[in-house]
Amino acid sequence: MEAYNNILIFRHIYGTIIKFLNAQDEYKCNMAGEGIVEEAFRLMYPERDFPYSASIKYTDHFNDYGANVRFRGNVLEFGLSRSWRNVSKEIRIGLFQELMLKIFARRKMEMRGMNTMHIDLYNGFVKNLHIAIPKTNIEPLLKGSFDRVNERYFYGQVEIPNLVWGEHSTTSLGSYNFKIDTIRISRVFEKLNEKDPELLDFVMYHEVLHKAHKFRNNRGKNRYHDSAFRMKEKQFEDFEGVDTRLKNALKRARIKKILWFS
């Protein structure tokens, strides 16, 4: 389960933001409003100078409400989906703070920051986005699995998200993206499902749990797989047994893939 979990953690960090484009002409630049980044920084670190210059680019290359940040020399480059443009300034300040904390942490910089009101606002906003998101993308096989899991473990109380197939992957099994309210499941389960439908339900349960459980925010770090989550995860019937069957099935699928391509 460990490798699987690590990958899920990675995918949950920001399912939407990984793709970053270098080509400048891909962006329609909006260089106005960088003052907001400095403001966001000063609210977190009232004692410090703001030693960076910042750029914000709004682009179509993200899913709705996707965003990322890069450090280049002294420049903080933010890329934001256009949908952020219509969001209140308070919430956008929280977004910039969240992104800065992430990149400072990745650089192992001593910048702990404070969990400000703005980050709470931002997280509240993200947690409630699903309400307004149209559910237009629902694969029938995945819906079957979702309905079983919802009925059995959530009293049918979880509102259906978008349910889509991902790549044919044996390592990246599933993800839930809060911002687009979408569960994505590896296509490998299309085949595995024929022999053992519980394997798909097992992964589906993990992802539905994310939707139901949301996330806890702690100093700008979102904890998706905290101990409460782990405890609930183990409530899947015969957790250990299904986990073992899943590992074995994936092993076989990997071998098959290698033979197929050799």
* CB closer to Zn ion, 8 vs 204: 8
Q: Of the listed pieces 6-14, 55-63, 91-99, 181-189, which binds Zn ion according to CB under 5 A?
A: 6-14
Range in contact with Zn ion (rule: CB under 5 A) among 2-10, 14-22, 152-160, 253-261: 2-10
Q: Which is nearer to Zn ion, 136 or 227 (CB)?
A: 227
Bridge partners, 80 (sequence order) = 58, 67
The answer to the question of residue 8 lying near Zn ion (CB under 5 A) is yes
Distance CA 38, CA 50 (A): 6
Count of residues interacting with Zn ion (CB under 5 A): 1
Q: How far is the CB of 178 from Zn ion (least distance, A)?
A: 12
Strand order across the beta sheet in which 28-29 lies? 28-29, 53-59, 75-81, 67-72
Stretch that binds Zn ion, among 3-11, 35-43, 110-118, 182-190 (CB under 5 A): 3-11
Stretch of residues binding Zn ion (CB under 5 A), selected from 7-15, 116-124, 153-161, 240-248: 7-15
Query: Which of 6/53 has CB closer to Zn ion?
Result: 6
> 8 or 199: whose CB is closer to Zn ion?
8
Shortest distance (Å) from residue 9 CB to Zn ion: 7
One-letter amino acid for residue 236 of the chain: F
Helix (H, G, I), strand (E, B) or coil at 81: strand
Rounded least distance, CB 23 to Zn ion, Å: 33
Name the residue nearer to Zn ion (CB basis): 15 or 79.
15
Nearest-angstrom CA–CA distance, 105 and 112: 8
Integer CA distances (angstroms), 233 to 1, 146, 153, 159, in order:
12, 15, 10, 19
Q: Are 57 and 82 in contact (CB under 8 A)?
A: no
- CA 121 – CA 95 distance, rounded (Å): 9
Cα–Cα distance for residue pair 176/257, rounded to 1 Å: 26
Catalog residues that contact Zn ion under the rule CB under 5 A: 8
